Amino acid sequence: MTVDKEDIERKLDAEWQALREVVESLSDDELLEPGVVEVWSVKDLLGHMAFWADKAAADLAKVAAGHPDEIETPGGETATNEWNARESEARTLRSISEVRSEWQRSFEASKAALEAVQPEQLEIEVKGWDMHTRFAEDTYRHYREHAAQIRAWKREVETTEE
């Protein structure tokens, strides 16, 4: 059975919209407040998601070009944590505006890469995961996970402020 690319596109758009709504409901001060996920602020999460969505776009482009062997993966939780720390540190001095722009652009890049790939290319397995799963984890499932964390943090902040 071929992957339903239109379904993936719908999920990507829906989860992006839900995430965008929660992010846009926050003030700039709230975006900078640490503690949303461990020590990270929403701004940190936006940069984190931008990195992974850009990676998803680049990975699909490699598959579309016939070079799935060029896809780099962290290969485990320790390396993933190292990548996340590296990318967080790289964005520390960037403004909210810069990180928001990167986050928006990364979504657009991942969407364009998905549109450009053939459905059967989403079935290609790369280092233990098919490309559809890899793309989902780095984009719309990632958006869903962090949107839920931001909502939970926002509820907690609102409860403690009362």
pLDDT at 157: 87
108-124 tens-digit pLDDT = 999 999 999 999 999 99
The domain total for the chain is 1
Residue 162 lies in a domain: no
- How confident is the prediction for the chain on average, in pLDDT? 95
Answer positive or negative: Cα dihedral of 97, 103, 107, 108: positive
Q: What is the CATH number of the domain that holds 151?
A: 1.20.120.450
Across the strands, what pairs with 126?
129
Residue 110 lies in a domain: yes
24-42 tens-digit pLDDT = 999 999 999 999 999 999 9
Which residue range is the domain that position 137 belongs to? 5-157
* The model's pTM: 0.95
pLDDT at 84: 96
CB of 71 within 8 A of CB of 126? yes
Q: Which residues are within 8 A (CB) of 40 and not within 5 positions of it... i.e. 6 or more apart?
A: 34, 48, 88
Residue 134 lies in a domain: yes
CB of 61 within 8 A of CB of 116? yes
